[in-house]
Amino acid sequence: MQAVSNCVTAPLVLPSTINVEPIKIQWDASLPIFAKEEFLRAVGDECGWLGGVDQSGSLRCVLPYTILRRAGLRMVRFRNEPIPRGDGLDVHEETIFLNSVVQHFRDTRADVIVPASNNAIFRTYPDGAEAAPYGTYAIDLQQPEHVLWANMSSKTRQHVRGALKSGIVIREGAEFLEPAYDLIRETFRRSKTPFMDRTAFERFVRGLGEHAKLLRAEHHGVVQSYCLFAFSSPCAYAIYAGNLLQQHGANELLEWEAIRLFRALGVRKFDYYGARISPQKGSKQDGINVHKIRMGAKLFEGYMWKYSIRPWRAWLYSVSVRMLRGGDIVGQEAHKLKDYTPKVKADVAPYQP
């Protein structure tokens, strides 16, 4: 007699389908600042939101983007990672969504998807993309001020106290925009890093509108440092900073006062706007990361990626960016991808601004 199997056949699980649809931009301050329509228009020649819609017709995520037109190329740049709506997406669904995003831009005749802006930390990337590890350091502002103070290193607290004692004061004002640009650009020049021209910088700030704050540190009337912040309820980002070589603790005091300011405004996180993963010990990038850790920030890891849609035209982009600044962030960091697993578990909700 033939034995009867006690095994139960598992039900067939079909892969999720997440369709991509252009949707109307409906931004409010509960969403990340870089999804704001005025900002997207300020930094791109074309812009929009793509919605991830499931089989039931429910909107599951939003992906803000811009298109830059340079030398005949149409280059897509994302200004945020997918923003969860409704139930959000798990990592598998997000990969499916990004695959559909690539197809959308292929159908609309884009040439290349270039690396996203530094705030956009993706949990995954589409099939066939070039990817690299990337992350950001952030501080949870939903903690009491005394806890935020205690989370900083003793050396950083000492620098803040020393700056206050020496007479450094922090001021806020949009009227500082022109001299701020000069010092920020000079700081980038010292690092042999290109920076946008004055017109583009002013357009960038105007796009943020009332959601930009510019702080400066002064020592007996002499400016020591500037920092431009962009914010909405989810997160405040420290975007661009410029400083003198001799600061007397000015940077630490400025950042501490910014943390206090945004916490008082009800902003939930303070983000240092991107970080390279495992930079060489003793390098400038390593020193920057150490500074953020000493301010009490924690590292959130993910990916940066790019995609060649039309290979020949994408090659022109790669050659141009290599000549201008030695390659883009993905090209510079892709060698770290082997055996890399983000420390934030993939089955946990992504870092949310």
Residues 43-73 have pLDDT tens digits of 999 999 999 999 999 999 999 999 999 988 9
CA–CA dist 190, 186 (Å, integer): 6
| Residue range 74-91, pLDDT digits in tens | 999 999 999 999 989 999
Residue 79 CB partners (closer than 8 Å, separation 6+): 34, 35, 39, 40, 43, 64, 65, 66, 116, 117, 119, 120
Q: Tell me the average pLDDT of the chain.
A: 91
Pairing relationship of beta strands 112-113 and 73-78 according to DSSP bridges:
parallel
pLDDT in tens, 1-26: 333 333 333 443 344 689 999 999 99
Which residues are within 8 A (CB) of 135 and not within 5 positions of it... i.e. 6 or more apart? 121, 274, 275, 276, 277, 299, 300, 301, 302, 342
Domains, the chain, ordered by start: 19-128+305-336 (3.40.630), 142-267 (3.40.630.30)
> Which residues are CB-contacts of 343 (< 8 A; sequence separation ≥ 6)?
299, 301
pLDDT given at position 9:
39
Q: Within 10 A of 329 (CB to CB), how many other CB atoms are there? A: 20
Beta-bridge partners for 236: 231, 270
Confidence of residue 156 (pLDDT cuts 50, 70, 90): very high
Q: Look up residue 171 and give its amino acid.
A: R
pTM recorded for the entire structure: 0.90
Residue labelled with tokens 């960016």: 321
> How many degrees, rounded to 5, is the angle at CA 197 between CA 68 and CA 334?
55
Percentage of the chain with pLDDT > 70? 92
Tell me if 266 sits within 8 A of 233, measured CB to CB.
yes
Q: State pLDDT tens for residues 246-303.
A: 667 999 999 999 999 999 999 999 999 999 999 999 898 999 999 999 999 999 999 9
- How does pLDDT run across 99-126, given as a tens digit for each residue? 999 999 999 999 999 999 999 999 999 9
Which residues are bridge partners to 166 per DSSP? none
DSSP H helices, the chain, are 37-43, 91-107, 145-151, 154-166, 177-190, 198-208, 250-264, 284-294, 311-325, 329-333
Q: How many CB atoms lie within 10 A of CB 154?
A: 9
Left, alpha or beta for 250 (phi > 0: left; psi -120 to 50: alpha)? Answer: alpha
Nearest to 15 by CA among 84, 90, 85: 90
